Amino acid sequence: MVNVVGIGGGIGASRLWLTLNEALDEATPGLPSPLTLVVNTGDDLWAHGVRVCPDLDTTLYALSGRQDVERGWGTKGETWRCMETLRELGNDVWFNLGDTDLATHLLRTSWLRDGVGLAEVTRRLAAGMGLRCRVLPATEQPVGTQLLCTDGERRSYQEFLVRDAAAPRVHEVTYAGISASRPAPGVLDALAAADLVVLGPSNPVASLGPVLAVPGMREALRDVRCPVVAVTPTVSRVPFEDPGEARRADSRQRLMESRGISATATGAAELIRDVCDVFVLDTADAQEADAIRALGPEVLVTPTLAHGGRVPRSLADAVLDTVNAGRPVRGAAIGGVRR
């Protein structure tokens, strides 16, 4: 059985995890799931009096079949009576929580206030939703992605993305509380036991960046004795038709440019070159392959775009095949330290 650890967050990663989880379930019928997901918590926030973990929730909803595939977030068949009532009472509602979604946050908030750690809270929610795989927060300590915009205002990532529609230009991105954080229980053990680590197609600054910034995480990834495969978070040469996808692309571009990096697959690869052995590039962007190889990783070219809320099965199979393909692990080749 191949132990797989997925790292990232957001809608793009959840689409890969869904297909990857199905492939692994088919390969291990009746056995414990070999998949562990380490999910970004930099988006977490208090909203309407409850603790919301957007990337954890997106992951849980996608894998349990509850996700609204058209929106890419929240639950399908949702109603909005609570938000409607808040507006009627004069509340400025910019962050919408559906009635079913709200139940998740109420339960999480109750457990957290009882002193239960976020990893255990997430385990309980995953079990309640019938998940076989393990879902872990990257850290249990509060961290927050903060954006200093060129208008002088400092925003949380959700304020930037949801309230302000990713419109402001970003000067600087920081992760508040990150220096005091540590990997959540189970994260380092999962990496140590991994036969494959997958960096999901997540916003490299907002969704993958906070995970890799947790003290000890980048070092642990450099030390793993298995392939680390990253799936491109962007396909530059295919236009976006869905408004939500376009907004997320705008966000990705503004955040990457704030780091002085182009919002391309090559730019994404540059941000993770020290922890990546294989970079999966979409066929539409195949012309970037040589530039990415020059950064260090091998390049695998295959279709990556999602349809109907999930990526192609061929992508999941290609990622899993890297374990058996004899691809070199740069960490093992140079004394266990990627560079």
CA distance 70 to 245: 11
Rg of the chain, C-alpha, whole Å: 19
Q: Is 189 annotated as a binding residue?
A: no
CA distance 195 to 34: 10
CA distance 108 to 118: 8
Per-position DSSP letters for 250-317, written without gaps between them: HHHHHHHHHTT--SSHHHHHHHTTTT-SEEEE-GGGGGGHHHHHHHS-EEEE-----BTTB--HHHHH
Neighbouring CB atoms inside 10 A of 260's CB total 8
Q: In what order do the strands lie in the sheet with 154-156?
A: 154-156, 144-149, 170-176
Is residue 148 within 8 Å of 168, Cβ to Cβ? no
CA distance 212 to 221: 9
Q: What are phi and psi of 119, to 5 degrees?
A: -65, -45
Strands 228-231 and 278-281: parallel
Q: Residues at the annotated binding site? A: 57
